[in-house]
Amino acid sequence: MLPFTRDQFLANLVAYNEAIWPAQLSAFALGLLAVALLFWRPQIADRLIAGTLAIMWLWTGVRYHWLHFAEINKAALIFGGLFVAQGAMLAYVGVVSNELRFGLGSGPAASVGIGLVAYAVVLYPLLGIWTGHAYPQMPVFGVTPCPVTIFTFGFFLFAKPPMSRWLLAIPFIWSLIGGSAAFLLGVPQDWLLLVSGVVAVPLVLACRSDINLEGLKS
């Protein structure tokens, strides 16, 4: 049982979207830049992609969870802490240490990654509008937890091994929390979130295992 009603959730989303406008446009532009960097490969491409993901997680943790969602759900204080922690890890591993490498690649992981990124950026808002959640009464890409998590899983499937398993923990936890709540709140565009964690995490770990096995054979 959720500590708030569906109407309270939607009203909170409206207030949040109106308060942060036009940050949504900046988030969308950052998302498109991250996608473009998979093809256009300047020397700092990987750092820019990791930095984009870090910004989205930090923003969502502070601005959405702590400053808005906490008004109707005190658990958002914990959720915000998880998102801030994930943003800090992405910033350290991907930007400071430059230990994240991205590339389109091929195979099942890359195919699922493309599907998740396309869903988060394009299909997510279209499905929201189609099901009656037009702006501002909708979770928006880049600044709300569920599309940020789906988008991140997509990019993790583009990550070249080795990738720290710790980076998978918080997105997976949120895929279970946010995905389950989506059914209770009637937000069908978030239903894929529950699937994304269950599918993406094993694929990322399988890629790590393949690399480890190749290393043992050589």
Q: Look at residue 213 and tell me whether its pLDDT is greater than 70.
A: no
Average pLDDT, the chain: 91
Is residue 191, in this structure, part of any structural domain at all? yes
Higher local confidence (pLDDT), 100 or 106:
100
Q: Of 113, 91, 109, which is closest to residue 100 (Cα–Cα)?
A: 91
Total of domains in the chain: 1
| pTM confidence score | 0.93
Asked if the structure places residue 1 within a domain, the reply is: no
For range 63-72, the mean pLDDT: 98
* Structural domain that includes position 202: 6-217
Domain membership flag for residue 45: yes
* Of residues 52, 42, 43, 46, the one with CA closest to residue 98: 46
Does residue 119 fall inside a structural domain?
yes
Q: Is residue 91 part of a domain?
A: yes
Give me the count of residues in the chain. Answer: 218
Position 115 in a domain: yes
Q: What is the pLDDT of residues 6-44, one digit of tens each?
A: 999 999 999 999 999 999 999 999 999 999 999 999 999
The per-residue b/e assignment along 190-203, b for 16 or more CB within 10 angstroms, e otherwise, is bebbbebbebbbeb
